[in-house]
Amino acid sequence: HRDVVVRHDEARAAQRVEPVGAPTADGAELLDAVLDALTKYVIFPNEGTAVAVALWVAATHALPAWQHATRLIIKSPQKRCGKSRLLDIVKLLSFKPMPSTDMSTAVIYRSIGDDDHETPTLLIDEADALFGTKSKAEQNEDLRGLLNAGFQRDRTVWRCVGPNQTP
């Protein structure tokens, strides 16, 4: 894994990524190790799915270098098929995992912050429970707005915070 420093110009148009220090492993070897860990504990429907999850895990560590964040959706039509097991393994491999089955919008807003090098990887288990019914979806409109806007840089979602309700 390499520590990555991203330097932004004023317009954020020209980004340059520079590795800091010597890498601890060859990138291909590291991805192979992630893939091995995933396939040791989870049975995937095909090799491509396992590779996609391994690449997603790697992407969580390289987020400061990218304009967009990718999303991983773990779903199956069957209960007890290994979704939670996969989430457990992903949690161990991802950058600063923040797992929850029911986190408030306020917690997420306060956790993501402005520093890409500190932003956690949100792992929302049972996300369908947050939006599954019309009533639940209406209760979670702030969260939906954050998740819909949060995959791309400069898609700001504003809130007032603090005792003075500062924007």
State the DSSP code for 15.
Answer: E
> Within 13 A of 19's CA, how many CA atoms are on the CB side?
9
What's the pLDDT tens digit per position in 38-80?
Answer: 999 999 999 999 999 999 999 999 888 888 888 898 888 788 8
Residue of 148, 145, 141 whose CA lies nearest to 158: 145
Q: What is the pLDDT of residues 110-126, one digit of tens each?
A: 787 777 788 889 898 88
Q: In whole angstroms, what is the distance from residue 96 CA to residue 92 CA?
A: 9
pLDDT at position 161: 75
Integer Rg of the chain from CA: 18
Q: What is the pTM of this model?
A: 0.73
Mean pLDDT of the chain: 79
Q: Which residue has the higher pLDDT, 8 or 154?
A: 154
